[in-house]
Structure 1
Amino acid sequence: MNTITGCPFHAAGAVDAASTAAESFKPYYRPELHAALEQQRRHEPVFWSEEIGYWVLTRYEDVYAVLHDGQRFSARNTSLPVTPMHPDALAILKEGGYAPTGAHSSLDGDVHRRIRGVTGQVLNLRDFIKLEPHIRSLVAEAMDRIDGKDDVDLLRDVNYELPARVVFKLLGIPEADIPHVKKWAGMRSVIDFSPSTYEQQIVGAKNMVAYWQYCSAMVHDRLKNPRDDFTSRILAIRNGDDSVMSLGEATNHTFGVAFAGHETTTNQLTNTFRTLLQNPDQWQALCADPSLAANTVEEGMRYAGAVIGWRRTALEDVEFRGVKIPAGARIMLSFASANRDEDVFENPHRFDIRRKNARKQLTFGNGVHFCLGAPLARLEMKIVFEEFAKRFPKMKLAQPDEARHMHTFVFRAPSALPVVLQ
């Protein structure tokens, strides 16, 4: 039985060489993260990260097992702010009426099943497919807007807005409101998934209140003036019955969908485009055969996933690979590591859009919390890669490529993607 010191939950025990390596492990995203995770995966696949205060699981088998075990592991901390909220920020949220009931990803048991039973009737492949003509129109519009330019920031000029315009159509948010809602929603990433300063928390709290009030107003408007959109449809399913879904929950999940439905897709599009252009043979393979676009989506999520880690809480004492993790401990599921596990993916550090088992990637999660918006994200990205491969086969990365990323151990979120189109 291995025991490791240095954690408030640890029993006394010897510190071995692998534990010393874990002490220097940096969990926040950086280009060197995958090499560090490979060393941990090989030599100490379960370890304590002092920097973030989490046990980290790096092997695919272990991560997959936790995602499928709602009895021993709770999802309640998936959106827990990395830096505890300052009382001043909490006061802003309270005074603004911000009253979250929990995101899909952080609900457990019967509550999760009840909420997902409602939202899953609206967020499903059948309904997403109806959006395909709209998505293709948006992609064509975006390509027309940049065509003829020499240098383009693909993140700023295409990827930032396009996924938002798709999900906001689903939500019935007017085009004129998109810049405001995108700004408000973006501050949640800073609050929940990155160490935040006092100033960031104050600004973030104000934006989250504005966003919450916008969603609350939408719910009350749809009660009186129902439309064919997400909020109207969940209210129709609710049919005035709080035991199905309360009005607060309706606001909460309108709020959540408007965030989750575009931020991750924006980041994933950018990560995959960068990886394609860093591997010109793969970009040319896609340009020669755009039917590879669907598998390109999967391989991009495996190799350069926008979600690099997800969180759980142990509800009882558990053990992985001889390491005891006590009840109450916080656990980080390293998707970035699991997606490059040598036991599952042959030659995992090679980006290969023809990889046969790329769809085994865990970036969308798995089990009962599997991302409800995954079919829509897959459809959007497939269309984007198909159309860009046809229109811009000579596209390449602008040099030097000095990509910067958000300081977070949850997302791989780049700040720019400069490219040369011709």
Structure 2
Amino acid sequence: MTESRQDSIHRLTNAFDFHDPAYTPDVAEVVNREMRERNPVAYSPAHGGMWIVSRYEDVQAVLRDHETFSSGAGVHFPRAKGMPMFSPIDYDPPEHSDIRRLMAPPVGKEAVRRLEPSFRELAAELVSPLAERGHGDVVAELARPFAIRTLGATIGLSEDAQREIRELTRNMWLLLSREDDSSGFWPQYRELLSSEIQKARASSEDSYLAWLARAEVDGEPISEELLYSIVVSYCVAGHDNTMNTLSRMLWHLARSPDTQRRLREEPELMPVAAEETLRRWSPTDRFTRVTTRDVTLRGVTIPAHSRVVLLFDAANRDPEVFPDPEEFRLDRGNSHKHLSLGHGIHRCLGAHVARLEFTCVLEELARHPVYRLVTEPRCVFENGRHTMFEEIRVSFADTAAAAPGGDA
């Protein structure tokens, strides 16, 4: 007998499991809200046992207290054996601080300013053909290539690598939590990274990857393990979250031509639109930590060595912090306080790059006709945590039929 949506919500609220097939993005929004309001510090027996934290105040406190809530066991859970650590998110101090310094050069404010002309040129290159044709898929033709090619420009990836990264990442997310070991995905990814690192070492180009491949710490070359950890982290996080946030922003604006027109009239609101997108639809629905000691939240004691799941989506829609949290509002005023880019020592290294990417795409789209959805697309999870659209088909014409759901 097929389980009804309401039965799935009830079951998952009482025995949370973000890898359950029934935990789809639309079900997740309801489950996350119910847990936040009814049981903000909850236990689930899934995957050997885990604790779920969902209120903004508590999630923020956990992210701030890295000594009690460790990342050192890896933030992805469950996790296939043999998968390398992701830098710097899977490390605690002091290693975390050293790794973050190694990763900082290509994403600092000055480096991002130098990237801006090429980002704007790429946005125009991708948007113009879509608009001139009058229709297309803004995931396949805009969000995905823009995210991957800006990543390539930021760290120095070859065009060959850029063509392979998405499928390798998709395969990794498909298998990371389902398999006992990483043999079905990591060797293929490592082969690509090895090729890129070898090219970088032999290159005379002034790219970040070339610098990193020859970098030393305390007079010694950085270990191969750390080198692969840094490069795979850039390859994955450097395109996934950008692609998914851009897709969600384009989806929302395609359903709301009035919001598009307002952004054209008040372009200073474009950064606000990006922050509100990140708040309302976190591209990474959750991360995890492991407790280093017994700790009490809201009167509930979580034992030492417990896996803790942080529901970013629920926290970002906590009405105690964001009134009318389900609404997308350009006048909210505190959208930037969302937790989608992390908090504390693990705040997203690439935040400056991401914000430039979002602004470049919005500004370029504003030079073309208003666009609307042709059909309502399907949103899915990758690895139980990344919300994404496979495709979003739009029409660049004010006379296009209104999208399902109207001018929401």
- 1:347-386 equivalent positions in 2, closer than 5 A: 347-386=324-363
Structure 2 gap ranges (5+): 1-9, 398-408
Root-mean-square deviation over aligned CA pairs: 2.5
Pairing partner for 1:59 from 40, 51, 55: 55
C-alpha offsets along residues 65-105 of structure 1, whole Å, 9 cap, x if unaligned?
111111111112444453645xxxx5xx8xxxxxx354211
* CA positional deviation for 1:236: 5.8
Q: Tell me what 2:211 maps to.
A: 233
Q: Tell me what 1:16 maps to.
A: none
Once the two structures are overlaid, the 10-residue window that deviates more, 231-240 or 163-172, is 231-240
Alignment partner of 1:324: what SS?
strand
Q: Tell me what 2:25 maps to.
A: 30
Instruction: Number of aligned residue pairs: give it.
Output: 383
Query: Cα–Cα, structure 1 residues 78 and 369, in superposed 2: closer, same or farther, change >3 Å?
Result: same
Which amino acid letter does the alignment assign opposite residue 232 of structure 1?
A
* CA positional deviation for 1:25: 4.6
Q: Tell me what 2:171 maps to.
A: 187
Q: Tell me what 2:153 maps to.
A: 169
Cα distance in 1 for residues equivalent to 2:12 and 2:168:
39
Q: Tell me what 1:117 maps to.
A: 101
Equivalent pair of 2:161/2:192 in contact (CA under 8 Å): no
Matched, 1:334 2:311: yes
* CA positional deviation for 1:185: 3.5
Q: Tell me what 2:260 maps to.
A: 283
Equivalent pair of 1:29/1:411 in contact (CA under 8 Å): no
Identity %: 25
Q: Tell me what 1:15 maps to.
A: none
* CA positional deviation for 1:390: 2.6
Once the two structures are overlaid, the 10-residue window that deviates more, 402-411 or 321-330, is 402-411
Matched, 1:310 2:310: no
Cα distance in 2 for residues equivalent to 1:229 and 1:265:
21
What TM-score, normalized to structure 1? 0.83
Cα distance in 1 for residues equivalent to 2:217 and 2:295:
42
* CA positional deviation for 1:275: 2.0
* CA positional deviation for 1:54: 2.3
C-alpha offsets along residues 171-197 of structure 1, whole Å, 9 cap, x if unaligned?
2222244212333244333334xx436
Which amino acid letter does the alignment assign opposite residue 31 of structure 1?
D
C-alpha offsets along residues 274-316 of structure 1, whole Å, 9 cap, x if unaligned?
1223344323322332221111110000001101101100111
- 1:139-150 equivalent positions in 2, closer than 5 A: 139-150=123-134
Cα distance in 2 for residues equivalent to 1:360 and 1:147:
34
Query: Cα–Cα, structure 1 residues 293 and 409, in superposed 2: closer, same or farther, change >3 Å?
Result: same
- 1:193-204 equivalent positions in 2, closer than 5 A: 195-196=177-178, 203-204=184-185
Cα distance in 2 for residues equivalent to 1:165 and 1:59:
36
Q: Tell me what 2:249 maps to.
A: 272
Cα distance in 1 for residues equivalent to 2:41 and 2:34:
12
Matched, 1:46 2:41: yes
What TM-score, normalized to structure 2? 0.86
Q: Tell me what 2:373 maps to.
A: 397
Cα distance in 2 for residues equivalent to 1:184 and 1:203:
11
Q: Tell me what 1:6 maps to.
A: none
Alignment partner of 2:289: what SS?
strand
Structure 1 gap ranges (5+): 1-18, 94-99
Alignment partner of 2:391: what SS?
coil
Cα distance in 1 for residues equivalent to 2:118 and 2:215:
25
Cα distance in 1 for residues equivalent to 2:203 and 2:160:
19
Matched, 1:413 2:394: no
Cα distance in 1 for residues equivalent to 2:227 and 2:278:
30
Query: Cα–Cα, structure 1 residues 177 and 106, in superposed 2: closer, same or farther, change >3 Å?
Result: closer
